[in-house]
Amino acid sequence: MVSVILCFYERLDHLRCCLDSIGLSAGHFDEVIITDDGSGNTTVLQLKELISSYKFPIRHVWQEKKGFRNAAARNNGIRHANGNYLIFFDCDFLVLPQTIPRHLNLAKKGKFIAGGYKNMDEATTQETFESAITVDLLNRLDKRFPERPLIKTHRRFIKRTLLMRLHLAPPQKQSLGGHFSIHKKDLERVNGYDENFVGWGGEDEDLGIRLVRAGIHCRSAIRTAKVLHMWHPPAITDRRWQEGPNIRYFNRKEIPVFCEDGLQKP
């Protein structure tokens, strides 16, 4: 059974387009879990009305707003997922039709699959909000943005994975890609996300390190499992999380494979 887990907070236009795009791959997954990091009552009511219009199973799970808690939200989604294989996206992604099948084709126990993304500009994103999401539209949007950055990232991932497997590079070099998929039992081996990460950034990098230390390595699908990242105003520390509140915790001397404050609580 395959569960798609979407992180969400307040962006209903993005979510609607994301669900429309995922619906084009119906038949390749069994359920969608929308894990909500504390959206307000009005948004939640509108969200429930929105998801009632889809023909595939969607569940909405919510946690109280106590700052930006992406790690806790993802763990909440994992706990509610029925699937034994999990695919993680964000609500501001347009998922290309071949992306979910590609994750599943590469799925293997003891591995996680890293996917790639292209950034859309503000004007294109606004046009997308006003358009019907179709296979043709997604393919045209994909062709509008260059492939070269994905090729470079793909090659870098392959090189880093090889060096880490040969113990010639530290696990700190591992990231999860723009989106990723993994067997649920492999996530449970490291106790999921570390919920000590509150605020922007660090939780994905921390998980990548712990997965590698547990012997769970990356398979790159960055060139073939793609999403389009819809524009939105950047978070204050977007792409600069290393200047934020999480960097001291991330740089602690000992990072245990099995985090204490994760899927299972002490």
pLDDT at 100 over 80: yes
Q: What's the confidence (pLDDT) of residue 50?
A: 97
**What is the C-alpha separation between 97 and 12, in angstroms, rounded?**
21
**What is the C-alpha separation between 27 and 38, in angstroms, rounded?**
30
Q: Strand 31-36's sheet: what is its strand order?
A: 58-62, 31-36, 2-8, 85-90, 179-183, 111-119, 217-229, 93-95
Q: The tokens 């959206």 sit on which residue?
A: 39
Asked if residue 230 lies in contact with residue 140, where contact means CB atoms within 8 angstroms, the answer is: no
Asked if residue 23 lies in contact with residue 4, where contact means CB atoms within 8 angstroms, the answer is: no
Domains in the chain (CATH in brackets) are 2-250 (3.90.550.10)
Q: What's the confidence (pLDDT) of residue 235?
A: 64
pLDDT tens for each residue of 190-228: 999 999 999 888 899 999 999 999 999 999 999 999 999
Percentage of the chain exceeding pLDDT 70: 96
pLDDT tens for each residue of 33-75: 999 999 999 999 999 999 999 999 999 999 999 988 999 999 9
Q: What's the confidence (pLDDT) of residue 239?
A: 53
Q: What's the confidence (pLDDT) of residue 170?
A: 76
At residue 249, what are phi and psi to the nearest 5 degrees? -65, -40
Percentage of the chain exceeding pLDDT 90: 78
Q: What's the confidence (pLDDT) of residue 72?
A: 96
Q: What's the confidence (pLDDT) of residue 199?
A: 86
Q: Which of 8-12, 150-154, 171-175, 200-204 has the lowest mean pLDDT?
A: 171-175
pLDDT at 189 over 90: yes
pLDDT at 127 over 80: yes
Q: What's the confidence (pLDDT) of residue 200?
A: 81
